[in-house]
Structure 1
Amino acid sequence: MIHPDTELTYINPVIGYGLVATRKILKGTITWVRDSLDMVFEPDAYEKIHGQRKEYLYKYCFVDGQGRRILCWDHGRFVNHCCAANCIAPGYDCEIAVCDIQPGEQITCDYGLLNMDEDFPCSCGATNCREVVRPSDPEIHHQKWDAQIREVFTQVDKLPQPLWEFVSEKAEIKQAINNPALIPSSLKHYYQHPR
Structure 2
Amino acid sequence: MIHPHTKLVFINEQIGYGVFATRFIPKGTITYVKDALEIIISDERFKEHTPEVKEIIEKYSYRDQNGDNIISWDFAKYVNHCCNCNTISTGYGFEMAIRDIYPDEQITDEYGIFNLKEEMPLSCGETCCRKKIAPDDFSKYYQDWDAKIKESIFFLFDVNQPLLSLVDDQTKGELAILKKYPEEYKSVSALMHQVPA
In structure 2, give the amino acid aligned to 1:188: A
User: How far is the alpha carbon of 1:93 from its aligned partner?
Assistant: 1.4
User: How far is the alpha carbon of 1:51 from its aligned partner?
Assistant: 3.5
In structure 1, give the amino acid aligned to 2:49: I
Aligned partner of 1:188 among 187, 190, 193: 190
Unaligned runs of 5+ in 2: none
Q: CA RMSD in A?
A: 1.4
1:80 alignment counterpart: 80
For residues 142 and 178 of structure 1, the distance between their equivalents in structure 2, rounded to whole angstroms, comes to: 24
1:128 alignment counterpart: 128
User: How far is the alpha carbon of 1:193 from its aligned partner?
Assistant: 5.7
User: How far is the alpha carbon of 1:52 from its aligned partner?
Assistant: 2.7
For residues 44 and 15 of structure 2, the distance between their equivalents in structure 1, rounded to whole angstroms, comes to: 30
Normalised by the length of structure 1, the TM-score is 0.96
For residues 81 and 72 of structure 1, the distance between their equivalents in structure 2, rounded to whole angstroms, comes to: 16
**SS of equivalent residue, structure 2 residue 4:** coil
In structure 2, give the amino acid aligned to 1:185: S
1:22 alignment counterpart: 22
1:95 alignment counterpart: 95
**SS of equivalent residue, structure 2 residue 106:** coil
For residues 83 and 193 of structure 1, the distance between their equivalents in structure 2, rounded to whole angstroms, comes to: 26
Q: Percent same amino acid among aligned pairs?
A: 41
Normalised by the length of structure 2, the TM-score is 0.95
In structure 2, give the amino acid aligned to 1:49: H
User: How far is the alpha carbon of 1:180 from its aligned partner?
Assistant: 2.0
2:5 alignment counterpart: 5
Kept in 2, the 8 Å contact 1:156–1:177? The answer is no
User: Structure 1 pair 83/193, CA: closer, same or farther in 2 (3 Å)?
Assistant: farther
Between stretches 47-56 and 7-16, larger displacement belongs to 47-56
How do 1:1-195 residues align onto structure 2 when only pairs under 5 Å count? Answer: 1-168=1-168, 169-191=171-193
In structure 1, give the amino acid aligned to 2:159: L
For residues 147 and 189 of structure 2, the distance between their equivalents in structure 1, rounded to whole angstroms, comes to: 13
Structure 1 moving runs of 4+ over 6 Å: none
For residues 193 and 18 of structure 1, the distance between their equivalents in structure 2, rounded to whole angstroms, comes to: 31
**SS of equivalent residue, structure 1 residue 152:** helix
**SS of equivalent residue, structure 1 residue 154:** helix
In structure 1, give the amino acid aligned to 2:5: D
For residues 82 and 192 of structure 1, the distance between their equivalents in structure 2, rounded to whole angstroms, comes to: 25
Q: Number of matched residues?
A: 195
For residues 131 and 195 of structure 2, the distance between their equivalents in structure 1, rounded to whole angstroms, comes to: 22
User: Structure 1 pair 121/99, CA: closer, same or farther in 2 (3 Å)?
Assistant: same
